[in-house]
Structure 1
Amino acid sequence: MHARAVAATTTALLATTCLLVAAPGAWADDLGGPPTVIAHRGASAYAPENTLAAIDKAAELGIRWVENDVQRTKDGELVVIHDDNLKRTTDAEEVFPDRAPWKVKDFTAAEIARLDAGSWFGPAYAGARVPTLTQYLRRVEHNRQKLLLEIKNPELYPGIEQQTLKVLANQGWLDQLHVRSRLIVQSFSTDTLRTVHDLKPAVKTGFLGTPAVADLPAYAAFADQINPSYGSISAGYVAAVHAFSGVHGKALEVFTWTVNDAATAQRVAGYGVDGIITNKPDVVRDAVSGD
């Protein structure tokens, strides 16, 4: 009986150790595996960017991570759209011809909800809408996906960091599970990332850009990732980033953008990047999967 008990205890300890090593500690989906593939503005090569249709398309393709952009309306609603104006991806010029330059911040949420955000992409998507952040989070949750959320143009929207965190909290996205493995907040603004880290230290953050190697210790004080454009990096740069520990004590990661062809995906994967942000997530996944 004693020998069996010791054996059972040893087995349980080994299993627990394996779980601790394999699961919660690492930021990436797969330890030692290919780079994480992130659908840029959803699967935006195949559906209108930043719409619910685009994240549904990513889910259909089997892509776990989606990226989006968050801005704020005139009446304080957070909406998911890339540009700071509505011209390129909606019919705002036709619906509101006298409201140039059609800035997001100059329209109410109800006005933006009237706009067609899909016809520009193709007739199959006519009637798609600009989602609110709440609507977007609910769809990502429904699809059991993960979110790389970019706070866009924060200089236009004072307090958007606090507001974004509040919406995330209200939708259940700041619990331990989401914060540990399903959410990253990124920005081109160091001030924004510092604010997010100060307000919610557990949230993983990524800086969009390619800081000089000498400056990386400063970024490591408030970021977990350095997320540069693919044309600005090399294997040496990625290795230099990995040599520093981020704010949560793990090696700084690199998610690079925006890679849309197999050859480039394979090249940056060879650099050792941790993630690849892409409009064509199926193309990139197939290129780096090793199958």
Structure 2
Amino acid sequence: MPHPVKPWPYPRWIAHRGAGQLAPENTLAAFRVGASHGYRMFECDVKLSLDGVPFLLHDDTLVRTSNAQEQLGAGLSTVGGDHPWATLSQLDAGSWHSRAFAGEPLASLAAVARFCRANAYFVNLEIKPTPGLERQTGQVVAEHAARLWADAGVPPLLSSFDVPALEAAQGAQPQLPRALLLDALWSGWLEAARSLDCVAIVCDQLLWDPSTVAQARGAAMRTLSYTVNEPAQAQRLIDLGIDGLITDRIDCFAPARQPPAN
């Protein structure tokens, strides 16, 4: 007998990296732009600075989304995790996107928590470790999330492609909800999600079909999909009963006009 899924407090529509196409991804500016389009939930990537401060960055290096090469100087590492937060906080993480966002700083997890809690927004924190720091990152992100969202009505959803990072998060703060991210249906994916006591599976949209949805639902897990940027893709997933759609196209989908997940 399949287990009944638990009530799901999160909105169906989730802004990817804040509003990662219309604003510099993983910054508070992106969250604000997403919010201005009616989004109430945001996905973002979290890793650790050299001195253990959780901050938002997708790539291993700072090159694509900041002025690190210019600011740090020749010969210095551009790996985000190789620098203390005092250095990272001085970088320009907006000019690469457009002049309108020049001077936008990297966002700390603490700043994200203040913004989301002040506005009653929801967040999906993807644990994105610097290679070699998988367990440390999972543990620290979970500990900070538990503290920053203490007594919040709805806690952040922690997700990761990295099983050791999720295991460390589970060990550190087992009460926080977890989700396994998948870009392929590798052998044992459902068993791994069960062992992590996940509440959800987050798949590349092409991996969801009636069979995989039924497997996840049979294990009492919710279903989320990334990165959904076309109306036909979104409709197929909604017809399948997918609970969460992560999109870059916040200008294409109006969450207020979309039915919520049950």
- Please give the TM-score of this superposition, normalised by the length of structure 1: 0.79
2:195 corresponds to which of 221, 234, 237: 221
Deviations 1:116-159 (A, max 9, x none): 10111111000001011111211121222001001102643252
CA 1:142 to 1:204, structure 2 compared with 1: closer, same or farther past 3 Å?
same
Is contact 1:269–1:288 with CA below 8 Å preserved after alignment?
Answer: no
2:74 corresponds to which of 87, 95, 98: 98
**SS of equivalent residue, structure 1 residue 277:** strand
- Indicate the residue corresponding to 1:3 in structure 2: none
CA 1:107 to 1:58, structure 2 compared with 1: closer, same or farther past 3 Å?
same
Aligned ranges 1:138-287 → 2 under 5 Å: 138-153=114-129, 155-157=131-133, 158-171=135-148, 173-175=149-151, 177-179=153-155, 183-209=156-182, 210-211=184-185, 215-222=189-196, 223-244=198-219, 251-285=220-254
Q: Which has the higher helix share?
A: 1
Measured after TM superposition, the shift of residue 165 of structure 1 is: 2.5
1:26 to 2:2 alignment: no
**SS of equivalent residue, structure 1 residue 264:** helix
Is contact 2:13–2:255 with CA below 8 Å preserved after alignment?
Answer: no
The one-letter code matched in structure 1 to 2:26 is N
Aligned ranges 1:130-145 → 2 under 5 Å: 130-145=106-121
CA 1:170 to 1:200, structure 2 compared with 1: closer, same or farther past 3 Å?
closer
- Indicate the residue corresponding to 1:8 in structure 2: none
The one-letter code matched in structure 2 to 1:217 is E
Is contact 1:259–1:284 with CA below 8 Å preserved after alignment?
Answer: no
- The Cα RMSD (Å) is 2.2
- Indicate the residue corresponding to 2:3 in structure 1: none
**SS of equivalent residue, structure 1 residue 283:** coil
C-alpha separation in 2, matches of 1:29 and 1:106: 34
CA 1:192 to 1:252, structure 2 compared with 1: closer, same or farther past 3 Å?
same
Deviations 1:72-94 (A, max 9, x none): 11222211111111000001111
1:69 to 2:49 alignment: no
Measured after TM superposition, the shift of residue 221 of structure 1 is: 2.7
C-alpha separation in 1, matches of 2:93 and 2:23: 11
Gapped regions of structure 2 (runs ≥ 5):
1-5
- Indicate the residue corresponding to 1:121 in structure 2: 97
Is contact 1:37–1:63 with CA below 8 Å preserved after alignment?
Answer: yes
Is contact 2:13–2:245 with CA below 8 Å preserved after alignment?
Answer: yes
Worse overlay, 40-49 or 190-199? 190-199
1:58 to 2:10 alignment: no
C-alpha separation in 2, matches of 1:283 and 1:117: 25
C-alpha separation in 1, matches of 2:210 and 2:24: 33
The one-letter code matched in structure 2 to 1:116 is D
Question: Runs of at least 4 residues of structure 1 off by over 3 A?
Answer: 210-215, 284-288
C-alpha separation in 1, matches of 2:30 and 2:118: 14
C-alpha separation in 1, matches of 2:101 and 2:16: 18
Deviations 1:194-223 (A, max 9, x none): 222232222110000043586413422321
Q: Which has the larger radius of gyration?
A: 1
**SS of equivalent residue, structure 2 residue 42:** strand
C-alpha separation in 2, matches of 1:49 and 1:221: 32
CA 1:186 to 1:212, structure 2 compared with 1: closer, same or farther past 3 Å?
same
Identity %: 31
- Indicate the residue corresponding to 1:84 in structure 2: 60
- Indicate the residue corresponding to 1:21 in structure 2: none
The one-letter code matched in structure 2 to 1:271 is L
Bigger relative contact order (CA 8 A; separation at least 6): 2
Is contact 1:265–1:284 with CA below 8 Å preserved after alignment?
Answer: no
CA 1:120 to 1:127, structure 2 compared with 1: closer, same or farther past 3 Å?
same
- Please give the TM-score of this superposition, normalised by the length of structure 2: 0.87
The one-letter code matched in structure 2 to 1:234 is D
Gapped regions of structure 1 (runs ≥ 5):
1-24, 31-35, 245-250
